[in-house]
Amino acid sequence: MVKLLDFWAPWCGPCKVMAPVLEELEKELTGKIEIEKINVDENQAKAAEHGVMSIPTYIVLKDGKEIGRKIGVTVKTDLLKLLQS
């Protein structure tokens, strides 16, 4: 199973911009990918574990291994490409 880690924070403007894009992806790819939203304020250890230095950061895991990463506001098509790599 492919997993998308979404590192965000409630005060992050770019994260708010990306929220509807992630909701669309979640609906379109139900059963194909799992999206895990990680609030960096509440889960600093997980952010550190993945080397997240800025948000939003999106990390794609396949079988527990990182296969892709995108930082900052991005378009849905780029996230889809990242998920299909």
Does residue 2 carry a catalytic annotation? no
Query: Which of the residues 12, 29, 35, 71 is marked catalytic?
Result: 12
CA 44 to chain centre: 15
Tokens 């889960």, residue located:
43
Query: What pTM was computed for the model?
Result: 0.94
Looking at residue 1, its pLDDT comes to 85
Gap between the Cα atoms of 13 and 27, Å rounded: 23
Does residue 12 carry a catalytic annotation? yes
Gap between the Cα atoms of 46 and 61, Å rounded: 14
The sign one gets for the Cα dihedral 42, 37, 18, 54 is positive
Domains defined along the chain, listed by start: 2-83 (3.40.30.10)
Query: Which of the residues 15, 25, 55, 61 is marked catalytic?
Result: 15
Looking at residue 40, its pLDDT comes to 98
pLDDT along the chain (85 residues), means of 10: 96 97 94 96 97 98 95 95 87
Residues 6+ apart with CB under 8 A from 19: none
